Amino acid sequence: MRFAKLQATGNDFVLIEAEEERDWPPLARLMCNRHLGVGGDGLIVLLPSMAGDLRMRLFNPDGSEAETCGNGLRCLVRYAVDSQLTDRGEISVETQDGIKKVFIQGDLLQVEMGSPRFTPDEIPVSLEPKTDTVIDLPVTIGGIKLKLTCLSMGNPHAVCFMDEPVARFPLGEIGPEVENHPMFPNRVNLEVANVLGPQRIMARVWERGVGETLSCGTGACAVMVAAHLQQMVSDEVDVILPGGLLTISWTGVGEVKLRGPAHLVFRGEWLG
């Protein structure tokens, strides 16, 4: 089975082309293993689409399926362009969260990520009593007091803004506790962030089903949207992650736009 390895600001994926479905979760667990497989933050399966130009399914290293992925979308389109599967400047990709449009802008790719969702049922978050939005929800995890702003970018996110540098935050200990907290029936991605100014945010991400990653596209979008909701930032923000910089645009209504690079690293053949 032929595959390609791609990365977008350090968020790395194994990608395979397929004409039909198969049992992907076991293959994802094998191929994404960093010691016994190719290694990656996820397995992207590129499939034919009846609704868009391409179809993407993405499976985490634990075998669970992600609804959408901003970095994965850019990697899939970069692969399609480099492999001459398309020569268009605008590509529609069918995902589990609907159609996403990706625009080629030289070395960068811009993804229309859809509109954020804020109600507890849409995220989802189980709260009593229910509220219209979840902003600065106080939660204590491992003796650490957090204030979580929750939203969906097609997948669930909990964003925590803090004054202490995010580099010092024990994300490896707190991340899995938040991910699997009973209030999140579908688990959740956790972002910790420092707002550095109206156009700059520093962030780290604990991804559901993956662990800490160098970058997360939907996570960067969630951080920017959460900051915008609280009037901390302007309509365009550079989100600085351990793996690099992503630019997020949102006016407060409508589509969130994500811009950043994606690169083909190598191609290979899977013999497992």
Instruction: Please identify every residue annotated as catalytic.
Output: 69, 216
**SS3 state at 271:** coil
Structure tokens at 81: 């362009």
Which residues partner with 26 through β-bridges?
none
Number of Cβ within 10 Å of residue 56's Cβ equals 24
Helix ranges (H only) for 53-116 are 70-82
What does each C-alpha distance from 69 to 58, 75, 119 come to in angstroms? 8, 10, 21
Q: In angstroms, rounded to a whole number, what is the distance separating the alpha carbons of residues 26 and 60?
A: 10
Tokens representing 210 are 């993956």
